[in-house]
Amino acid sequence: MSTAPGRPLPGALPQPAPSGRATAAALTAYAAGSVGMGVWVTVPGLLLLYFLTNSLGVSPSLAGVALLLPRVLDTLVHPLLGSLSDRQARRSGHRLGMLRWGLLLAAAMVAVFTVPAGWQGLPAALWVGGWFAVGNLLFASFQVPYLTTPSDLRIGYHERTRVFMYRMLFLTLGLLGAGVAAPALVQGGGRAGYARMALLLGGAMVVCGLVAVSGVRRLTAECGFRVPRRQPHSLVGDTGTAWRDRDFRALVLSYLLTGTTTHLFLAGLPFYTDHILHDDTLTTVLMGCFLCPAVLAGPGWTALSRRIGKQRGLLFSQGVFIVGSLALSMGGRLGTATTAAVVVAMGCAFAGLQLFAFSMVPDAVAAAEARGTALAGAYTGVWTATDAAGTAVGPYLYSAVLTAGGFVSSADGRTAVQSHGALTALLGGFTLVPAALMAGALALQLRCRLESRSAR
């Protein structure tokens, strides 16, 4: 279907003359959706592996598979949803239809943590894995069009960083709220505690998602909407176009290792505090140390990027995370106060890792659009598939390390005695493995030359 130049598509969002700069109110409404996204990223990433191995009696190897397979499916779905989102945008002038499906995610999260009474081992793993797959699909339905929004807007290089600064601020608030509240809500509560936690945080996800939908509409009204070009395309073709972009490919591969590292950190933290620091209440404390600075660091990173650029900021953040991971390998000898200080520094680095990497995606789209090759939804689909892959590989890799070390699972809050080999694997998997992964991410990021082609 063709349209006359300047005439909006049927059902399209209002298109006044774009201002090129969004209001704080519109950005706040849009960014509210990241609170709900932060809950889904944090709660399964932080608690699901521990829930399976320490409450449901699932072995580390089986638990790793139960968490990995839904994410493998996820990586296949994201590019498809990106391509479908582009088609919807061309047809209707917005991406809200797919976005609204994601509001059902809260129900899936409740189901993940509400395992039928008496189920342990394989049946429990199948229940959790099945509902985790459903939740990931609903999350993708929200995440793909949501993260495509900055690429859709008619804004420039530094304004895209500003949009993502708001988004990262609220994402960190979601990570922080869930990272502190979830362990506190489940502590000593058994299975019922996990179910109650999921219900309470799921309600917050629904509210934030509804606000975000209104925020997307407001941003589009203020800044304008780039309707994707009408050109022959397919899922394979769209994905191939994004993958052949050398700078985007380097950014994607670097973020794959970055995401694997940060999600391994989340999955391993409860094991580290319980078995290395011998105080499981420190899970909440260290999550607060990790995420509270990230809330404050976002505006600082944004200001710094105007001086040194996003690429250098990202490389510096990766370096700080490497040093922090190596420092934590000292375990209890580091002392609680020093451990907290190291985690604070890693939290600041985490904010930079997220802000710079995500804000470079629309820069890659803009550069490709100048060459006449980009489809924003396709690029975002590849990016979110990479994000999903890192989310999967991190916990799975840590579960594989635990399995290799001979970690013993337990059920219903009972504590199993661990061997020296298991404790060594637990510590090395949480510290040395992330340091090596992030070093690889830094090396790949050095290949990206997007910065020199994007700055205005």
Structure confidence by residue, pLDDT tens digits, 79-92:
777 777 777 766 76
Q: Is residue 427 within 8 Å of residue 331, measured between CB atoms?
A: yes
User: In percent, how much of the chain has pLDDT > 90?
Assistant: 25
Q: What are the structure tokens assigned to 75, written together?
A: 């990586």
Lowest mean pLDDT among 258-272, 326-340, 343-357, 376-390: 376-390
- 297 vs 32: CA distance, rounded Å: 18
| Reported confidence tier of residue 23, pLDDT bands at 50, 70, 90 | confident
Tell which residue, 335, 354, 232, has the closest CA to residue 293.
354
| 210 compared with 10, residue with greater pLDDT | 210
Contacts of 313 (CB under 8 A, 6+ apart): 301, 304, 305, 352, 355, 356
Residue 417 is predicted with a pLDDT of 80
Rg (CA), the chain: 21
Question: Alpha helix (H) ranges present in 153-189?
Answer: 157-186
Which tokens in the block code for residue 366?
């803009």
Is the pLDDT score of 328 beyond 90?
yes
Q: Give the HSE-up count for residue 358: Cα atoms under 13 Å, Cβ half-sphere.
A: 29
Could you give the CA distance from residue 243 to residue 240 in angstroms, rounded to a whole number? 5
What amino acid occupies position 183?
P
Which range has the top average pLDDT, 242-246, 259-263, 376-380?
259-263
Q: Which amino acid is at 454?
A: S
Percent of the chain residues topping a pLDDT of 70: 86
Backbone angles phi, psi at 410, to 5 degrees: -145, 170
**How far is Cα 316 from Cα 442, in angstroms, rounded to an integer?**
9
Report yes or no on whether pTM surpasses 0.85. Answer: no
